[in-house]
Amino acid sequence: MTTSHPSPVEGSRSKAASAKLEDAPAGGDCVVKVGGDWQLNAAMPSWNSLVAQHAPGNVRVVPDSLGKWDSSLLLFLVHGRKWCLQSKHALNAEALPENLQTLLRQIAEADTSQQKTKPAAKTLAERVQAWTINLGKKVREKVRENVSFLGDCTLGFVRIMRRPHKFRWLDVFVEMQQCWVSSLPIVALVSFLVGVILAFQAAIQLQQYGAAVFVADLVGLSVVREMGPMMAAMIMAGGIGAAFAAQLGNMKVGSEIDALETLGVSTVDFLVLPRLLATTVMMPIMALYANVLGILGGMFVSATMLSIPATAYWVETQNRVGLLDVGSGLIKSFVFGLGIGLAGCLRGMNCEPSATGVGKATTSAVVTGILLIVITDAVFALIFNVLGI
């Protein structure tokens, strides 16, 4: 004998939505009878209230004078299905209308697919391992891109040496002019101020020992061997390197580089090598220019603050600064220029074809150029120390 447990929402109207739970006989399924009209704008039974006072086993849902229904009945059955899954029981809805069974089945399939696609939580060790693997892949890809670019540039220089008459030398002179015009004023200002700062700082200390004339020695050596080439290279990296990356990046966004490759034109020979030659040739010239302005800055401080005549300052500089000192700075500046051109062209040729990609390439070109300058200067400092220069 079974007993009925009416839902608390079972209303006075005959067509109100209703749900009744009949206790399961020994070894049988519990039966939930749904009836009446199920509408979202009307009160409807709650599954949790229906099973709150009972602990049924498997559940079978059957219609009992079921009238009109909408998604409210479907929502009621979805709650029942979730309850059955949590309590590890089965829900049987085969007695319900076919279209209602179809909707319920589609929801069950969607939940199952989401559970399958949801990634399982990873442990800290697994996350670290995945991050390391991804980092290794990115580093390997970047190294491959850089090595490939350097190889293309090397082959391009070989082609120039074998057939110089086929190279567009006019493009080199145009790029050299751009380097000179855009960098000349800022290099002059910065180099002069660097000379002023070095002389002022040295004068404060040397005056205490009556050796103010040696300001010329300190400024001359510092500017010629280090500060002149270094400051000129930094300015070139911030201006020319970024300009190269922006120009080539915009050409890539506009599909101009792809068009050149489609026509069979070597983009390295046509776009990269003229810029590399321009920066490599112009960098020693800019370094010499920076050296002169830096020495003039020290001379200005000596003449105005230390009362040292310009002729005495110049003679002391000539006695201390030799051609070997000037040559060491020019050798470094030559390599600085090559690194600046490579950084700008590399980032421009490999940038993403979008406005954001061009911005990232420009920033990366400046950072890469400055990093190459510092590393190169450290390497040359070590080499010159070993050679006694």
- Mean pLDDT per 10-residue segment, the chain (389 residues): 41 61 63 76 74 66 76 77 75 76 77 59 79 88 86 88 87 85 87 92 82 86 91 90 89 85 84 90 92 92 86 88 89 92 89 85 90 92 87
Task: Identify the CATH number of the domain in which residue 46 sits.
Answer: 3.30.750
Do 154 and 94 sit in the same domain of this protein? no
Our measurement of the distance from residue 4's CA atom to the centroid of its chain's CA atoms, rounded to an integer in Å, reads 66
**Per the domain annotation, does 131 fall within a domain?**
no
**Per the domain annotation, does 126 fall within a domain?**
no
Overall number of domains in the chain:
2
Which of 82, 117, 152 lies at the terminal end of a domain, its last residue? 117
Q: pLDDT tens digits, residue range 30-82?
A: 777 777 777 777 777 777 777 665 656 677 777 777 777 777 777 777 777 77
**Per the domain annotation, does 129 fall within a domain?**
no
**Per the domain annotation, does 127 fall within a domain?**
no
Do 111 and 150 sit in the same domain of this protein? no
pLDDT at 374: 93
pLDDT at 55: 58
Q: pLDDT tens digits, residue range 359-378?
A: 888 998 999 999 999 999 99
Do 175 and 285 sit in the same domain of this protein? yes
Q: Which domain holds residue 363?
A: 144-387
Q: pLDDT tens digits, residue range 96-122?
A: 777 777 877 777 777 766 655 555 567
Do 62 and 168 sit in the same domain of this protein? no
* Residues recorded for the chain: 389
Do 159 and 69 sit in the same domain of this protein? no
Do 210 and 95 sit in the same domain of this protein? no
**Per the domain annotation, does 128 fall within a domain?**
no
Quote the tokens at residue 363: 């920033």
Q: Is the distance from CB of 77 to CB of 104 less than 8 angstroms?
A: yes
Percent of the chain with pLDDT over 70: 89
Do 16 and 93 sit in the same domain of this protein? yes
**Per the domain annotation, does 256 fall within a domain?**
yes
Do 91 and 159 sit in the same domain of this protein? no
pLDDT at 42: 75
**Per the domain annotation, does 284 fall within a domain?**
yes
Do 79 and 192 sit in the same domain of this protein? no
Do 150 and 266 sit in the same domain of this protein? yes
Do 149 and 60 sit in the same domain of this protein? no
The one-letter amino acid code at 340 reads I
pLDDT at 53: 57
Do 358 and 310 sit in the same domain of this protein? yes
**Per the domain annotation, does 197 fall within a domain?**
yes
pLDDT at 333: 92
Our measurement of the distance from residue 246's CA atom to the centroid of its chain's CA atoms, rounded to an integer in Å, reads 16
